[in-house]
A and B are shown apart, each in its own frame.
Chain A
Amino acid sequence: MQCIEVEGLTHVYFPGMPLETVALRGIELTVYDGEFIALAGAAGSGKSTLVLHFNGLLLPTAGSVRVFGRDITDKEYRRQLWRQVGLVFQFPERQIFSPTVFEDIAFGPRNMGCDSLTVNKRVKETLALVGLPEEIQAEDPRTLSGGMLRRVAICGVLAMRPQVLIMDEPGAGLEPAARQLILASIKEIQSQQGITVILITHHLEDAAVFADRVAVLHQGELLSVGKTGEVLSQTRILHKAGLKAPFAVEMAERLIESGIKLPTIPLTIEDAARLLHGLIKTTGVEPGGYNDG
C-alpha cells in the first residue's frame, strides 16, 4: 500500500523574487506503508524541504503530494495531518519548553485530545520505548545531557503514536553510542508497530543497517531510489551527491579493483566480516600472506 505519493514535486522559495531558489525539482517518489526509507543527500539537497510537504507544512509550487491517498492541498485535511505524520526536526531538543520532561512529552497527546489517563500511560510507554527510565518524567529538561534531551524530544513526537514518523538527522551531533541507541529503538518501534519511518541522514552507515530502501537527493533532484543494497553499491552516484558509501561497500570496491572476485557486495561491517571470513576459509590464507595449504 502506498502511504505517501509524490508526483512531479517542485518547490521554489521566494518565487519571482531576487532571492528565488529552486529547492526541489520534479521529484517522483512513493513511500510504502510500514517501510523504513532513508533520504540521503548533502546539506542543501532539499531533504528537509521535501519532508515538510509530508505533513502539510509546505505546499508544492508545482506537482502534487498525496498522503494516505489524499492531496495535501486540501486545507481541512492538511490541518489534521499532524495527527498521523509525526515530524522530528533537526536538533529537536531546541524546541523543548516545559519545566518537566513529562509536560513536554504530554504536549502532543494533549493537543490530540487524549484524557489524562491516556496521556500518563503514553508518556510512560514512550519513555520505555527509547530506553529512558521512568523517573526521568519529573526532571527538569535543563539538567539532562544532550543525548538524553534528544531522546526526550523524540518521545514528544512518538507519544502521539504517528502512523508515519519522519526524523531529520536524529543522530546529528551525538556520540556514536547515543545515535545507535536512538536508531535501534526507532527500528524496533517500526517493526513492532508497523509504522512507516522516513529517516533523513547523510550518514549512510545508518541507512545500510536500518533502511529497507534509500533515496538519494542532489541539488533538489532525485538521483536514485531503490533497495538499500542496490542504491548503496552505486558508489559513483553517491559520490556525485557528496556522500560516502558505507565502509563495507568502499572496501569491497577496492578489493574488486585489485582483482579479487567477491560473491556479493557487503553493506554493513557484519556483512564484510562474514565475507572476509568466508574468503579466508576458502582460500586458506593466514595473516601474513602465507598459504599453508
Chain B
Amino acid sequence: MMDNISIGQYLPACSMVHRLDPRAKLICIALEVPAVLMTFNLLSLALVSAWTLLAVILSGIKPRVYWHSLKPLWVLLLISFILQVFFTPGEPLIAVGIVTISHEGIVHSGWLLWRISVLLLLAAVLTFSTTPLQLTMALEWLLSPLRRLRIPVQELAMIINLALRFVPTLFDEARLLLLAQRSRGADFTSGSIKERVNRLVPFMVPLLTNIFSRADELAQAMEIRCYQVGAIRSRMRVLRFESADYAVLLVSLAILVTVVAMIIF
C-alpha cells in the first residue's frame, strides 16, 4: 500500500542536478514557478517545458520513477481536467443533453493540465535530487535576512528539517500499525463514512500516542546533546556556489525575463 515512493523522497544518484548547490536549485524553482504560471503562448510554454525536461533528464533518475511518483496525483489532475472541460463556457463543440464541451474548455483545461504537470515535475526534480538537510540549509540561507526582523530563522529551519526527517519514519510506523491491526481483522476499507471513521480509532490512537512519545524522546536527545534555542551553530559542510550553479541561475532568470517580456510586449 505504501510501498510507493512519494514525491518528497530523496533518491541518491550521482548526477549533475544532484551536485548543484541546493540554494541554486531553490532559487531556480522560485524563478521558474512564476514563469510557468505566467505562460500564455506556446513559445513561452515550450521554453519552460524544455528547461524542466532538461532538468529531469540530467537528474539521472529514470523517467519511470517520475511517472510512478506522480501517478497518485494524476487521478486528481484528470478529474480537474474533465470538470474544467465540462464547465468552461464557450463555443460548443459537442453537446449531449445538458453536457456541452466547448472549444475553449478543452484548450483552457489542457493548458492548465500541462502547466500543473510541469510544476509537479519541477518539485519532483528538487526533492529527488536534494536531501532534506540540504533543502533546509538552503532555506535558512534564503530566509537569513529575516533575522533582522527578529524572526528565529535557524530554529524554523531546524523545525522544518526535523519534520522532513521524520516523514519516512512516520510512514513506516503507520504502515506497521495498519498491518498489525489488519492482522487482527480491522477493516479500513468498507462500511459507511461514520463506520469507517470509527474503524480508524485502532489506527489513529496508537499512531498519535507513538508520535508524541517519539517527539518527547527526540527533545530529550537534543537537550542531552546541548541543543539550545538561539545558540549560534556551525556547519559541517559549508555551501559554495560553483560556476554550474551560476549558469543554471542565469538560464532560469533568462527564462523568467523572456516570459515576462512576452507578456509586456
Contacts and interface: CB of A to CB of B under 8 A. Distances in A.
Interface residues of B, number: 27
B172 to A, nearest CB: 12
B27 interface: no
B186 to A, nearest CB: 7
A92 B180 contact: yes
A52 to B, nearest CB: 7
Contacts of A95: 177, 180-181, 202, 206
Interface in A8-63: 13-14, 16-19, 52, 55, 57
A156 interface: yes
Interface string B1-18: 001010001011100000
A89 B179 contact: yes
Contact of B11 (A19, A108, A111): A19
Interface in B137-186: 176-177, 179-186
Interface of B is mostly: helix
Given A13-B3, A14-B5, A94-B210, A111 B65 contact: no
B5 A97 contact: no
Nearest to B4: A14
Contacts of B179: 52, 57, 89
A69 B180 CA distance: 24
Contacts, number: 65
Interface stretch (A79-87, A118-126, A181-189, A260-268): A79-87
Nearest to B210: A94
Interface residues of A, number: 27
Contacts of B13: 18
Interface string B177-202: 10111111111000000000000011
B237 interface: no
Nearest to B205: A97
B11 A157 contact: no
Nearest to B9: A19
B185 A108 contact: yes
A144 interface: no
A68 interface: no
Contacts of A82: 182-185
Contact of A89 (B180, B185, B201, B203): B180
Contacts of B203: 97
Contact of B202 (A18, A92, A107): A107
B55 interface: no
B184 A19 contact: no
Nearest to A153: B180
30 contacts: A17-B5, A17-B11, A17-B68, A18-B11, A18-B13, A19-B9, A57-B179, A57-B182, A57-B183, A82-B183, A82-B184, A82-B185, A85-B183, A87-B183, A89-B183, A94-B177, A94-B206, A94-B210, A95-B181, A95-B202, A96-B206, A97-B202, A107-B185, A107-B202, A108-B185, A111-B185, A111-B186, A156-B184, A160-B184, A160-B185
Interface of A: 13-14, 16-19, 52, 55, 57, 82-83, 85-87, 89, 92, 94-97, 107-108, 111-112, 156-157, 160
Interface of B: 3, 5, 9, 11-13, 61, 64-65, 68, 176-177, 179-187, 201-203, 205-206, 210
Please name the 10 residue pairs, one residue from A and one from B, whose CB atoms are nearest each other, closest first: A111-B185, A97-B205, A108-B184, A87-B183, A95-B180, A18-B11, A97-B202, A89-B180, A82-B183, A97-B206
